[in-house]
Amino acid sequence: MRIKPEEFEKLFMEAVDEGLKSLGESGRHMVFYHLERSYSIKRQDIPKKPEAFAEGLKKIFGEGATVLEKIIIKKLYSKLGLKYENQKDYALADYIRDLETKKEARNNNEHSDSRDLSLDSPPPELKANQQRSFFWEI
């Protein structure tokens, strides 16, 4: 399955919504309201500004924001069909950057490799091992 930037943003926002719902529906709305009013971070801008979003969460929740970030990242990885692996000292923006880096590497490989790199049809060596890899999931 290919993931276009707008699809990734949609999945990311779904993960944010679901992660913040751990605070309850009114808590989720309160966070979005506070982010926009106090920190000028609009809900629709969150996928384009994950660092600002994470900073806003930290200002609201202090170190407790780390828990919300992990919930959001785990939900995002699940939506992308990826296995989440905790990285020491990683924050939400670091995970997003890693996903973008991996996606760029996959795109570069598609342009430089003469094989059919359709994500719906992984190469035989991956089919044989039934491996799940970021490059074939997004």
**CB-CB neighbours of 78 under 10 Å:** 14
Report yes or no: 11 and 76 within 8 Å, Cβ to Cβ. Answer: yes
The structural domains of the chain, with segments of one domain joined by +, span 5-96+111-132
Cα–Cα distance, 137 to 11 (Å, whole number) = 14
Residues 6 or more apart from 54 whose CB is under 8 A from it? 65, 69, 91, 92, 93
Which two tokens mark 54? 């994470």
Cα–Cα distance, 45 to 27 (Å, whole number) = 19
Which two tokens mark 68? 């919300």
User: Does the reported pTM lie above 0.85?
Assistant: no
State the architecture of 5-96+111-132 in CATH terms: Orthogonal Bundle (1.10)
Cα–Cα distance, 89 to 104 (Å, whole number) = 23
Q: What is the pLDDT of residue 100?
A: 80
Cα–Cα distance, 100 to 94 (Å, whole number) = 10
The overall average pLDDT reported for the chain is 80
Mean pLDDT calculated for residue range 41-49: 94
Mean pLDDT calculated for residue range 95-104: 80
Report yes or no: 92 and 86 within 8 Å, Cβ to Cβ. Answer: no
